[in-house]
Amino acid sequence: MSGDWLGSIVSINCGDTLGMYQGRVSAVDQLSQTISLTQPFHNGVKCLVPEVTFRAGDIVELKILELPVDSRRQTNNQFPENTTGMTTDYINGTAKQRPVETSNAQNIPHRSETRSNDSVGTSPQPCSKSYVDKQSEGLNQPKNFRRRHNSWSSSCRYSNQATPKKSGPKNGQLKARDDECFGDDLEEIPDTDFDFEGNLALFDKAAVFEEIDTHERKGGGGTGGGSKSRGTPSDRAPTYRHDENILESEPIVYRRIIVPQPGGKEYCTDSGLVVPSISYSLHKKLLSVAEKHGLSVEKRLEMAGICASQMALTLLGGPNRLNPKNVHQRPTVAFLCGPHIKGAQGISCGRHLANHDVDIILFLPNFVKMLEPVTNELNLFCQTEGKQVSNVKDLPDCPVDLVINCLDCHENAFLRDQPWYRAAVDWANQNRAPVLSIDPPVTDQEQGIRAKWSLELGLPLALGEQAGRVYLCDIGIPQKVFREVGISYHSPFGCKFVIPLHSMLE
């Protein structure tokens, strides 16, 4: 009887420790209770040894996957359809026989019968299918056959990735469909790539749209056909972007500021609004009328200091430079101030920057008598952690992050002849730091310190190229004050207090 099972393909379950083995039976010894498999597979992977022998005590379950040809014929002759055969289970070393239903059609699943078995919900073990595929393909497939890497049999190598079994006709239908899509029954896989460009050239987009338009004009579309016609561009409803206003409004007026005495130069904002320059005499008159209506010098200094400090914080890097996690890179700003209102504006800006954790070095020469606004701003600055120096030699030798120039004055031009002024200009030019000038005067000759940015107050003056890029800040002058001095004014600031100005070609 033991010789009848030689050549059978079996699956042996040796428990969790040894795992699953599949192979062809080469020897059965009833005395020593052993069975040998040739060309064995362990958990779906081919073993390195040509033959493996098992004892009955190591076998938990034994399944016969395929009988030899002679034994299959004898079995078909011995057992009629829908009769009961026997299968052997080795449990704890003891051989037991149990009945199993057999039939001529479904007793032993063949490779050609896999699809029919899957459709009724019965499928062989994945590892056994992999072994049968390897045995049959080794004999039947040509040499240039290439296996698909995503096939069902190649996934059986990984025995740990077990898929939970489901029963029912629905699962069987899905399994059959998966085998049709991912099965390894292809005889040949084409090696040539799909020609996307050639296939796309076969589609004539213009001809298709022309055919659709022709169909709509002949009655397929429009009111009669019930579908929406494409129409001509003039007949289509206008489309709008997400940032466009869909409501009709009045035409935009870009020249909203008209001055009685043009300063000789015009600027424009990022929105295209025209901002004309004014002369220094008109600018002085505007500030005088504003002071008469309550906009005192102290308020103007405070607004100028806040706007200048906000611009300086942006130039220093903004939130990327000034944050609690970057305390080791605190920026350093040097202020060059004179004993006048322009210098007081710089002192006010330095006080606000010091409150924002910026290292401030304020240069102000010693004078016996200074203006009251300058003295008041200096007293407030001394309450901060900023440093004040009166000698240019006390300024840092290494480059600073920013230099704010408030040395110049509109009226006291004689200050340029002072030794402290020339020393401060030389230090700024040698420091190689970018310079921001606050409310610089209009001069015919080159300034001693060439600025990269200049900040104007209220309305700009006609500055030259030495002023760099011009910015404008709002110091809070009411609209009726502009009207009183003869200026038709509409605010160009929008949602900001500091805006850039671009020089317009004359």
Q: Which residue has the higher pLDDT, 179 or 233?
A: 179
Amino acid at 116: S
Q: Which residue has the higher pLDDT, 351 or 115?
A: 351
Identify the top-confidence range among 66-75, 196-205, 337-346.
337-346
User: Which pLDDT band holds residue 132 (cuts at 50, 70, 90)?
Assistant: very low
Mean local confidence (pLDDT), 478-490: 94
Q: Which residue has the higher pLDDT, 177 or 125?
A: 177
pLDDT of amino acid 410: 79
pLDDT of amino acid 202: 82
Contacts of 366 (CB under 8 A, 6+ apart): 390
Contacts of 137 (CB under 8 A, 6+ apart): 145
Identify the top-confidence range among 144-148, 187-191, 382-386, 410-414.
382-386
Percent of the chain surpassing pLDDT 90: 37
DSSP class of residue 258 equals B
pLDDT of amino acid 195: 85
Give the CATH superfamily of 262-503. Answer: YjeF N-terminal domain (3.40.50.10260)
Q: What is the C-alpha separation between 106 and 104, in angstroms, rounded? A: 6
Q: Which residue has the higher pLDDT, 287 or 17?
A: 287
pLDDT of amino acid 336: 95
Segments making up each domain of the chain, as ranges: 2-108, 262-503
pLDDT at 461 over 60: yes
Nearest to 157 by CA among 142, 170, 146, 147: 147
Helix boundaries (H) for 203-340: 205-215, 222-225, 280-292, 297-315
Q: What is the C-alpha separation between 320 and 383, in angstroms, rounded? A: 27
Kindly report the backbone phi and psi dihedral angles of residue 277, in degrees, each rounded to the nearest multiple of 5, phi listed first.
-85, 160
pLDDT of amino acid 1: 56
Q: Is the separation of the CB atoms in 259 and 461 below 8 Å?
A: no
pLDDT of amino acid 188: 60
Q: What is the C-alpha separation between 156 and 126, in angstroms, rounded? A: 6
Only one residue has tokens 């002058």, namely 477
Q: Is the separation of the CB atoms in 275 and 460 below 8 Å?
A: yes
Q: Which CATH code fits 2-108? A: 2.30.30.100
- What pTM did the predictor assign? 0.53
pLDDT in tens, 195-239: 888 888 888 888 888 888 888 777 655 444 444 545 455 556 677
Amino acid at 260: P
User: Which pLDDT band holds residue 453 (cuts at 50, 70, 90)?
Assistant: very high
User: Which pLDDT band holds residue 316 (cuts at 50, 70, 90)?
Assistant: very high
Q: Is the separation of the CB atoms in 8 and 71 below 8 Å?
A: yes
Contacts of 201 (CB under 8 A, 6+ apart): none
pLDDT of amino acid 171: 62
pLDDT of amino acid 72: 54
Q: Which residue has the higher pLDDT, 65 or 402?
A: 402
Token pair recorded at residue 382? 């001394």
Q: Which residue has the higher pLDDT, 97 or 186?
A: 186
User: Which pLDDT band holds residue 6 (cuts at 50, 70, 90)?
Assistant: confident
pLDDT of amino acid 94: 45
DSSP class of residue 219 equals I
The Cβ of residue 374 has, within 10 Å, a number of other Cβ atoms equal to: 23
pLDDT at 170 over 70: no
User: Which pLDDT band holds residue 370 (cuts at 50, 70, 90)?
Assistant: confident
Q: Is the separation of the CB atoms in 78 and 104 below 8 Å?
A: no
Q: Is the separation of the CB atoms in 455 and 439 below 8 Å?
A: yes
pLDDT in tens, 284-303: 999 999 999 999 999 999 99
pLDDT of amino acid 122: 41
- The neighbouring-strand residues paired with 84 are 101
Q: Which residue has the higher pLDDT, 85 or 493?
A: 493
Contacts of 378 (CB under 8 A, 6+ apart): 347, 364, 370, 388
pLDDT of amino acid 102: 38
Q: Is 281 helix (H, G, I), strand (E, B) or coil?
A: helix
H or E element in which residue 31 lies: none
Q: What is the mean pLDDT of the chain?
A: 77
Mean local confidence (pLDDT), 234-263: 78
Q: How much is the CA Rg of the chain, to the nearest whole Å?
A: 47
User: Which pLDDT band holds residue 445 (cuts at 50, 70, 90)?
Assistant: low
